[in-house]
Amino acid sequence: MASPDARLAAPGTTDPLVPELYRVDAVRRELTDTVTLELTPLSGPRPAFQAGQFNMLYAFGVGEVAISISGSPDPSSCFIHTVRDVGAVSGAIARSEPGDVLGLRGPFGIGWPVKAAEGADVLFVAGGLGLAPLRPAIYQVLENRARYDRVAILFGTRNPADMLFRKELETWRQRLDIEVEVTVDHADPEWHGHVGVVPGLIAHVPFDPAEAVAFVCGPEVMMRFTASALTAAGVSAERIYLSMERNMKCAIGLCGHCQFGPDFVCKDGPVMPYDRIAEILALREI
């Protein structure tokens, strides 16, 4: 990977448009096209972040892309990002090796209202790579489990071979204080679980619709149908939160690439309450 420009800032810069230097400490292969990177600042402490926020990762000589933070908000941890190789920039980042240096700007955006959900039933609903942006919120809730009522994790993926964080899902499933349900679009002969779309799992977990808060992340069509299923089950739209994805470039609301109706996903999201975006989310061409 190309060497970073010496003009780039050290961690702690006050300029949100200047990347800081981070070393790749570890790379874990999740799927054939997906890796999880552990990133540590070359100097200074790692900035605090809220579950649901994102960073802009910069592969030198290639470009920059928005990637959600997928690790624990614990201030003692490094930045953890789960990256799928879907283009030139994400591919370059996904091919990083320990010791490489990346540029990083962030964290940016509005996160999941984890603290505000205390005392409520919490539903985490994820599709595919959407489990990665939800993982910090799941960690936070499980680390403070007594502050929440019933907790459920609902996850859908294309097939068993594409299941993200499989070992972690199995660990969560073994807990007696949460519900975990997984479904696949296409089963193989060894799969004995649910087959079908993620919204179909909602009926399989107990929760009080009047008191439930739902955090939803995944492909837009999946989130649209999940939000409809949740409202049909009695969950109010203002208690459903979706993490939106748009082509974010500047991350501070200047360039307009991520405009979503009157909002900019980079600064007004990515986490947005369903009641605020339901009307525009129904317009598929947006």
Residues 127 and 269 reside in one and the same domain: yes
Q: How far apart are CA 250 and CA 266, in angstroms?
A: 8
Asked whether the predicted pLDDT for residue 5 surpasses 50, the reply is no
Chain segment 65-93, per-residue pLDDT in tens: 999 999 999 888 899 999 999 999 999 99
What is the tens place of the pLDDT at every residue in 10-51? 444 568 899 999 999 999 999 999 999 999 999 889 999 999
101 and 126 share one domain: no
pLDDT over 70, % of the chain: 94
Residue 13 resides in a domain = no
**Do 146 and 215 share a domain, yes or no?**
yes
CATH code, 86: 2.40.30.10
On whether both 127 and 258 belong to a single domain, the answer is yes
Decide: 114 and 47 in contact? Cβ < 8 Å.
no
Q: How far apart are CA 220 and CA 207, in angstroms?
A: 24
The tokens of 232 are what?
């049909």
Q: Is residue 11 part of a domain?
A: no
Count of domains observed in the chain: 2
115 within a domain of the structure (yes/no): no
Q: What is the mean pLDDT of residues 268-283?
A: 93
Instruction: Looking at the structure, tell me whether residues 29 and 161 fall in a common domain.
Output: no
Q: Is residue 4 situated within a structural domain? A: no
- Name the domain boundary from 74, 108, 142: 108
Give ∠ CA 182-222-134 in degrees, rounded to 5. 60
Of 73, 108, 143, the domain-final residue: 108
Write out the residue range of the structural domain in which residue 202 sits. 121-281
Rounded Cα gap, residues 28 and 26, in angstroms: 7
Beta pairing class for 263-264 and 271-273 = unpaired
Pair 103, 127 in one domain: no
Q: What is the mean pLDDT of residues 50-61?
A: 97
Q: What is the pLDDT of residue 6?
A: 39
Could you say which of 59, 74, 108 is where a domain stops? 108
Q: Is there a domain that residue 95 lies in? A: yes
| pLDDT, tens digit (0-9, with 9 covering 90-100), for 147-192 | 999 999 999 999 999 999 999 999 999 999 999 999 999 999 999 9
